[in-house]
Chains A and B, each alone.
Chain A
């Protein structure tokens, strides 16, 4: 079946602009995660949704970052007043949440964000 998809694959924007990154999880997956991967680093957790609600947003770096999942499927990560330090690959993952931290997370191909 279809995997996790993310759009756009690449986004170039100017400092101070607003951007939206979209994630379509695997159908039926209730858990959805956003991560950020900087060059040469492993992915870092940003936010986790269980259904429509953000169960944990402790990884969001500041209040310029916000994410929604209004119908419990597609999610949008929103970044206001972008800064050059926001440049990274933004990864989305989904899982069929069974609890206990044993779930396999399936990752999308990522959105490469470049802030000029």
Chain B
């Protein structure tokens, strides 16, 4: 079945460092891809998404490009801030299905030190 694999954390970076969180997927169809973020004490919220191959999602300085050839959707940010400390989840939704439920990776915890 469909699945998402993302790099294990925790990831600890200094402020202004470059961030990459790897995400690869397995899907029978052509899924939509999402990054969700969970800040401490808060609920899951959408960070960015891409719905077809070669699309780039971006938000708050974060970017991810839908790479069909490598089945990847890696999250990147050029200069992280302390406020980016959170748990990041990669997810997919198979548009071939009727329900659109999300399949999540296990999450990557990011800690940014000043």
- Contact, CB under 8 Å: B44 / A40: no
A55 within 8 A of B: yes
User: What's the interface size class on B, roughly?
Assistant: 20 to 34
For B96, B101, B104, B107, the residue with the greatest tally of chain A CB atoms inside 10 Å of its CB is B101
Tally A residues with Cβ within 8 Å of B.
Answer: 31
Bound CA span A9–B27, Å: 34
Smallest Cβ-Cβ distance to A100: which chain B residue: B95
When the two chains form their complex, are residues A102 and B51 in contact, meaning their CB atoms are under 8 A apart? yes
Q: Does B53 touch A at the CB level, under 8 Å?
A: no
CB pair B42–A103 under 8 Å, yes or no, is: no
**Separation in Å of the A100 CB from the closest CB of chain B?**
4
B43 within 8 A of A: yes
B28 within 8 A of A: no
Q: Measured between C-beta atoms, what is the minimum distance from B91 to chain A in Å?
A: 7
Q: Is B70 an interface residue (CB 8 A)?
A: no
Q: Which residues of A contact B107 (CB under 8 A)?
A: 40-42
Q: Collect the chain A residues with CB atoms within 8 Å of residue B101's CB.
A: 33, 45, 48, 56, 59
Render A81-116 as a binary contact track against B, CB cut-off 8 A, 1 for contact: 000000000010101010111111111111000000
